[in-house]
Structure 1
Amino acid sequence: MARRGSRVSTDDEEVELNMTPMLDVVFILLIFFIVTSVFIKEPGIDPIRPDALTEDDLNPSMLVAVNSENEIWIDRRVYEQAELQPIIEQLLQENPKARATIQGDEEADIGIILDVQDLLLENGVEVSISTLQE
């Protein structure tokens, strides 16, 4: 008696999994997270801050530094006090809920630090002054 062949084909072909759609989804997610993330702007210098008894851990999105020569640094550039208004407006367009921290050097003129603070407050930015905890 002759055996009949199976109706189901059992060829020894390898099955390949198409990874292209998965890679597309991964890249789309990566682009989404990069575009929606908020990056911290660095002031460009690290001033010697005065000591304080307490320290709050804040996550500012805008850092302003005033060094001992009374130079105002934002995003690694020096600005004159008269140039700050358009810079602050530009940073607020990037992040309307921005919080600012002013890092004032202990040798800096307090008047300049307060003027920068007033300018930020006038634009509706929540401001804190950075100090070192003893």
Structure 2
Amino acid sequence: MKRKKHTSGDDEAQIDMTPMLDIVFIMLIFFIVTTSFVKEKGLDVNRPDENQSNNNQPSKSLSIRIDANGIITMGGREVDVRRVVANAQTFLAENNTDSAAIQADKDTEHGLVVEVMNQVKIAGIDKVSVLVKDS
């Protein structure tokens, strides 16, 4: 039996990768073409412009707190829900502001929070934020 001697030509044998790369690129093109892009549904957010100057920004906002028992506090004193408009207008007369922040406890009834928001809007403040505070 005759044995073959390994020559240096056998060591340099390689597999041609071109057909495999062709298949990979064809698959990539197939997946790109068949992918369907769906616009996700959600809330549109109105963000302020970056070039808007901060010189005319109000100094502070009206702060309203509502605890779990429904007690409304404005400026460190308790206020009835029917007096929120008057207190907010007083605050507006003393301060240059266009925003209010309502900090409500998580156990507060949402109807009371909505009523306070309506009262603040009646007073003339359009930008109202609602914060939820854990007990």
TM-score by length of structure 2 reads 0.50
User: For 1:98 and 1:75, how far apart are their aligned partners in 2?
Assistant: 16
Residue 129, structure 1, aligned to residue 125, structure 2: no
Query: Aligned residues, how many?
Result: 74
Give the alignment of 1:1-80 within 5 angstroms: 60-80=60-80
Where structure 1 has 5 or more consecutive residues not aligned to the other structure, the ranges are: 1-58
User: For 2:84 and 2:123, how far apart are their aligned partners in 1?
Assistant: 11
Q: Which has the higher Rg, Structure 1 or Structure 2?
A: 2
Decide whether the 8 Å contact of 2:85 with 2:122 is kept in 1: no
> C-alpha deviations, 1:61-83, integer Å up to 9, x for none?
21101000000001111111112
Give the alignment of 1:53-132 within 5 angstroms: 60-125=60-125, 126-131=127-132
The structure-2 alpha-carbon separation of the partners of 1:115 and 1:60, relative to structure 1 and needing over 3 Å to count, comes to farther
- Cα RMSD of the aligned pairs, angstroms, is 1.8
Decide whether the 8 Å contact of 1:60 with 1:101 is kept in 2: no
The structure-2 alpha-carbon separation of the partners of 1:123 and 1:85, relative to structure 1 and needing over 3 Å to count, comes to closer
Moved over 3 A (4+): none
Identity, % of aligned positions: 20
| SS at 1:103 equivalent | strand
User: Which one has more relative contact order, counting CA pairs under 8 Å at least 6 apart?
Assistant: 1
Decide whether the 8 Å contact of 2:101 with 2:131 is kept in 1: yes
Instruction: After TM superposition, give the deviation of residue 60 of structure 1 in Å.
Output: 4.9
Instruction: After TM superposition, give the deviation of residue 124 of structure 1 in Å.
Output: 2.3
Tell me which amino acid in the other structure corresponds to 1:117: M
